[in-house]
Structures are given as C-alpha cells and as structure tokens.
Chain A
Amino acid sequence: MKRTVPLVITFLTGFFLIVAFFIPHEPFGELEQRLLVWFAIVSGFTMLLGVDNLIRSHAKRIARTDTGWGHSIALLVGLVVTVVVGAIGFARFGSPFHMQSPFMFVYTYVIVPLQGTMFALLAFFIASASYRAFRARNTIATLLLVSAIIVMLGRVPIGAAISDFFPAAQEWIMDVPQLAAKRGIQIGAALGAVSMSLRIILGIERSYLS
C-alpha cells in the first residue's frame, strides 16, 4: 500500500502519456488533456509544503529565542503582511493583482528591489573572482580565459573600435566551438533524462518515494 500503490500510479501515468503521445486520438487525447490539467492543479499544492517548512522552522527559532530570532519575526511579519494585503486587494479590487491593490505596492517596492539587488551583488563577486581566481595556470585554463576575454570585448562597442576581429571572433566562437560543446553536453544530458525517466516509470528508480 505504502510503496506499491505509488509505483503503480507512476507506471500507469508515465506509460499512458507515452502512448498518448503516439496516439493522440480519442479517448487518449482527451484523457491526456485531463491528466495535464490535474498535474497543473496538484503541482500548485507542492508550493504550500515549502511555505509550511519555512513557517515551522522560523516559529521554532522564535519560540526558543535562538540567535537571530528577531530576524525570524521580520520574516514572518513580511509573510503575514503580504498575505493580508493580498486579501485586501481581492476584497477591494476583485483581484490582488489589480494595479491599485496594496499587494502590488508590496510587489513593486519590496519584492522587486530586494530580489533585484540581491542578484546585483553578484556583479561585485564575479569581478572580485575574476581578479583573484581566473588564472592562466595551464593551457586549458588559458583557453578558457582567452575565450572569455574575446567574448567580453566582442560584445561591447569598443571591441569593434579596436579591431573588427573581436566581434567577428566572438560571433564565430558562439556559433561554432561553444555551440558544439553545448550541444554535446545537452545531448548527453537529454539522453540521461530519457533513461532516468524510463527507470522511474519501470520502478527501478524510487528515490522520489523516500
């Protein structure tokens, strides 16, 4: 019951979708469509599990007054306020996503700057890493470095101003050697994904049940 039923469900759904791909006619096509809609509905619920974990761990931290419990309060307050303004937006404007809704205020002035700046920090770290770690230690590393420099110069106007070589070389690197390597890597990964999917459907790979 605990393991067999899920294995059967996985086998039946996976196998059916392969059949429906090759025979999209009725009743397969219609049933496939139904399963896809159900998949969309169910996958929304997985997000709730993540939020629940977050609330529990921070509530615990506050209860025990562990280090940083004040920050956990900020986190939970942020969560509650967002949900409340979402509800207010729905009650007043019929949708939290109405441009006048307070939910959109939180989105525009809290989520966007926090998310944007968090990732903008990476510009500083990548510059610092270029200075400290990007070393021509051997031929292979030098190749990587030269390719990076050509691409960086070829993608800005000064590259073309120095020499037509840079934009042309940049384009060639992107169109030929880098494309070839990406394709090789991705073909390998795609075949890996196919074999993993087969193992899952056939019940050989069961780690998702743990």
Chain B
Amino acid sequence: MESAPKRGFWEAMNNLDRRIIFLILLVCVAIPLLLNVGAPIPPTRPVQLAYDAVESLEAGDVMMVSIDFDATSAPELMPMLRSALRHAFSKDVKVAMLGHIAIGLPLGHMALEEIAAEYDKEYGIDYVDLGYRPGYIAVMIAMGRDIGDIFASDYRGTPLAELPVMTGVRSYDDIELLFGFEHGAVIDYWVRYTQARFSQRMTFGTTAVMAPDAYPYLQAGQIEGLVGGLKGAAEYENLIGHLGLATRGMPAQQWAHLLVIGFIVLGNLGYFFTRRKN
C-alpha cells in the first residue's frame, strides 16, 4: 500500500510534459548568462598546442584561416576565430582567409574586419579574404601547386596581383600555418588531402561535436593543436589574455551540464522504480 503513491509519483515523472523540461533548461541557461560572471578557464593541452602553433609564427608570416562553419555553430567557433585573429594580428602575422562552407563565409569576413580594425591592419596589405570556390578537395589540392589558379581574385573580385599581402604567396610553401574552424567533415579533407600531401602545418578549432573525431589526428601529429567547443574557445581567450563571449558563456554551460546530469539521474530513478513495480 505504501509504494502505491511512490509509483504514481515516478510514473508521473516519467510522463512529464517535455515543455516543462524545456522551460527548466531555458531558465537554467538564461540566469547564469544574465548574471554575467565568467571566470578564466585554465588551458588544457590540445588548446595550449594550438596557441603554441600560432605563437611560433613570426612577423610577416602568412597564416591561412579557413571558415568551414556557418551560423549553426557560430556561438562556439566565432569566439575562437576572434581569439586566433587577435593572436595573429598582435604578432603582425598576415592573414589569408578563405572558406569551404559558403553560407558561413560572411561571418568570418565580419570577424576579420572587426579584429583587423582593432589592430589597425589594412586590407590587402596585412590581410585578405579570398572568398569561396566550390569543390573542397579540388580547391585544397590545387592550392598546393598555385593558389592563383583557383583564386585569381579575392572575394570582391580584386586580382591577387593587386594585393601586396599575396606577393610571394604562391602555394602552401608560402603559408606558415593553416588554422581551420570546423563544424563538419571539411577538417578530414584538410588533413587527408592537404596535410598528408603537402606537409602543411595545421591546427584547428572545432565544434564540440567534431572535437572527438579530431583527437586521432592530434595524437598522430597530423595536426598541431585542437580547440574544441565553447570550453576550448574560453581557454584560448584566457591564453591570449582577452576574455570574451566564450568565457562569459561558460557558467551557463556549466549549469546546463549539471541540469542534464540531473535529468539523466532522475530519468533513471524513474525507470528503475517503475520497472521494479512492473
């Protein structure tokens, strides 16, 4: 007799309207975000390695930045893109941007213009946006022989010959480091088709979804570093000493994780109690 109400409770919990779960999650993310209390996140090894790769560049070196994401993953990748650009520009490294996910390209361009302005960098001299060409693998491999064959002009249609930043930059031989920002399989193309064939130095920032898939590349030394998800972005912000949106988002991230763990425990308790009764 005693267990009847208990079972009723757990059954009710098992059949909880999912909109209540939605509402709890919304509150759990919104409150820490509004409190705005992000603290620096200590760096882990993969992020430190990515930082070190950029740190190894010297003034005048060219870093190629690949925008391989769109708005569906911008909250994770934009903060790390901004940090990487700040890091490069602070060292007077030149930046050549391109992208393989066409619909995300303007996001990269906006970040490039914003951060270049912070460091008084000039378009065409200190940085360039090459834009996009269809056919990932063909674009990647063709650049190994001659970038100009595939990108005869930049995203605005200006011929590369008129852009001083591209003077002497003909192929991967003239690109010191590739920093790709990835939310899908393009990272695999970069590594398998380009790193292997042209021994191009590479480091990546990826969404948390993609990060586990990139670990084998890191361990094999095919890529030099890995910035994974919002936490990775927050670590990079900490490393360059410029805390931004990723660091501010981490408390909300933390409470959401705890909430989901709570949901998993609660869901399993419900499962356990109702199954025992049944």
Contacts and interface: CB of A to CB of B under 8 A. Distances in A.
Contacts of B161: none
Given A104-B106, A179-B215, A149 B150 contact: no
Given A112-B107, A156-B257, 8 more contacts: A36-B142, A37-B149, A40-B139, A104-B106, A108-B110, A131-B266, A148-B264, A157-B250
A179 B219 contact: yes
A95 B155 contact: yes
Interface in B60-78: 70-75
Contacts of A43: 134-135, 138
B212 A182 contact: yes
Nearest to B234: A157
Contact of A40 (B14, B105, B138, B212): B138
A203 interface: no
Contacts of A136: 268, 271
Given A33-B146, A97-B156, A156-B231, A131 B21 contact: yes
A97 B106 CA distance: 8
Interface residues of B, number: 63
Given A29-B145, A128-B22, A97 B109 contact: yes
A interface: dominant SS: helix
Contacts of B105: 97
Given A36-B141, A43-B134, A182-B212, A130 B156 contact: no
A32 B266 CA distance: 59
B263 A130 contact: yes
B134 A156 contact: no
